[in-house]
Amino acid sequence: MLQYHERLDRTFGALADPGRRRMVERLAKGPASVSELAQPLDMSLSAVVQHLHVLEESGLVRTAKVGRVRACSLEAGALNAAARWIGDRKALWQRRLGRLAQLLEEEGGDDDDEAEGGGA
């Protein structure tokens, strides 16, 4: 089993390419053949297969030979680790920014008190 950070690296690496992201978006709607995935993309069928290999290696996509057609499907669970990682970073920064806002508000409140006292 891949280590957590290695899986994240592969997931984000796979999603770094716009063509692969489009494939993932298409597969989010349901399974598709390799030729169906290639149709809207401006690349050769060979290039699509190479991109699919990267998506398979990352665990985002699974392919299976069904007769003469290679069917592709999204492994949505593979996105969970990336979503969790992003969510953790978001929560961390929201806490930090919330604390900063609180400190600035407290600091601003002290200035108001001094301004009111000094003018009277």
Per-residue pLDDT of the chain (120 residues; tens, 9 = 90+): 468 888 899 999 999 999 999 999 999 999 999 999 999 999 999 999 999 999 999 999 999 998 999 999 999 888 888 999 999 999 999 999 999 999 999 988 765 555 555 554
Which secondary-structure segment (H or E) carries 33? strand 32-33
pLDDT value of position 44: 93
Domains of the chain: 4-77 (1.10.10.10)
- Name the nearest CA neighbour of 69 among 19, 22, 32, 28: 32
* CA 66 vs CA 47, 50, 63, 71: distances in Å: 21, 19, 9, 7
pLDDT of res. 113: 54
pTM, two decimals, is 0.74
